[in-house]
């Protein structure tokens, strides 16, 4: 079954913990990014891991020189199960993160093409190359857009067995039915606002989980 990753981009600690408790029976993984970490601190990652016992991925889109990437990865992977990085900064920068991840048995997920409209400007033209780099480096996952199913399909064909983490369902208007025809078991959809901003995050997470179970 395709897995459900909750993007927990709320900026209040209690709200974050509440949403995790409410939705945990329906979600497979939690993605924590800058909004929540900057509003609280990095230890929120540890707290949410302990509370949920889910896979926790930090979406820090790390994009620096190798030695700085290494420091960011060390700090993040003390608590998180995986970290999202950019590939456009080059092979050495990604490898620096992979080295830290391997030592700790953690995941590195690399962005190929982003899901927002602006990604067609600079990212789309190099996204297939980034997908090839991801495959060459043997990263544990790639981010590819649910908002452009034809691009999702192309990127999936390039990366082969590497798992896909796909944002864009819900608030960004991605078509879940089309996306589920492309994704396979062990891939993930990421859903944020349409769960945590809904009247009942629990019911919304349940609805997505059921769609994934029934393959729509």
Q: Which residues are catalytic?
A: 59, 61, 64
DSSP codes joined into one string, 66-82: HHHHHHHHHHHTTT-SE
Say if residue 200 carries a ligand binding annotation. no
Nearest-CB residue to ligand NUP? 192
Minimum CB distance to ligand NUP, residue 212 (Å) = 15
Under the binding rule (CB under 6 A), the answer on residue 87 touching ligand NUP is no
- Rounded to the nearest 10°, the torsion over CA 196, 202, 207, 211 is 90
Nearer to ligand NUP, 99 or 198 (CB): 198
Under the binding rule (CB under 6 A), the answer on residue 56 touching ligand NUP is no
Under the binding rule (CB under 6 A), the answer on residue 167 touching ligand NUP is yes
Which segment (11-19, 89-97, 130-138, 184-192) binds ligand NUP by CB under 6 A?
A: 184-192
Minimum CB distance to ligand NUP, residue 26 (Å) = 15
What three-state secondary structure class fits 162?
coil
Under the binding rule (CB under 6 A), the answer on residue 97 touching ligand NUP is no
User: Which of 4, 6, 9, 30 lies at the binding interface for ligand NUP (CB under 6 A)?
Assistant: 9
Q: How far apart are CA 107 and CA 90, in angstroms?
A: 18
> Are residues 146 and 168 in contact, defined by beta-carbon separation less than 8 angstroms?
yes
Q: How far apart are CA 78 and CA 49, in angstroms?
A: 11
Query: Both ends of the chain: CA-CA distance in Å?
Result: 11
Q: Which run of H or of E encompasses 49?
A: helix 43-52
Query: Which residues here bind ligand NUP, judged by CB under 6 A?
Result: 7, 9, 33, 59, 114-115, 143, 145, 167, 170-172, 190-193
């Amino acid at each position: 079954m395709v897995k459900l990753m909750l993007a927990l981009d709320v900026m209040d600690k209690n709200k974050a913990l509440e949403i995790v408790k409410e939705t945990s029976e329906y979600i497979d993984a939690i993605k924590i990014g800058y909004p929540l970490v900057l509003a609280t601190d990095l230890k929120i990652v540890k707290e949410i891991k302990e509370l949920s016992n889910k896979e926790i991925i930090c979406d820090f889109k790390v994009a620096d020189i190798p030695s700085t990437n290494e420091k960011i990865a060390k700090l993040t992977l003390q608590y998180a199960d995986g970290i999202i990085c950019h590939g456009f900064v080059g092979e050495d920068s990604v490898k620096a993160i992979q080295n830290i991840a391997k030592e700790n048995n953690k995941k590195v997920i690399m962005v190929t093409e982003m899901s927002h409209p602006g990604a067609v400007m600079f990212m789309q033209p190099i996204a297939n190359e980034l997908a090839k780099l991801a495959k060459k480096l043997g990263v544990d996952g790639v981010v590819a857009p649910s908002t452009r199913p034809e691009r999702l399909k192309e990127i999936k064909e390039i990366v082969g067995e590497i798992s896909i983490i796909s944002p864009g369902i819900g608030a960004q208007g991605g078509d879940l039915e089309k996306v589920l025809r492309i994704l396979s078991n062990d891939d993930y959809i990421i859903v944020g606002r349409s769960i945590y901003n809904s009247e009942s995050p629990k019911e919304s997470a349940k609805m997505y989980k059921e769609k994934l179970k029934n393959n729509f």
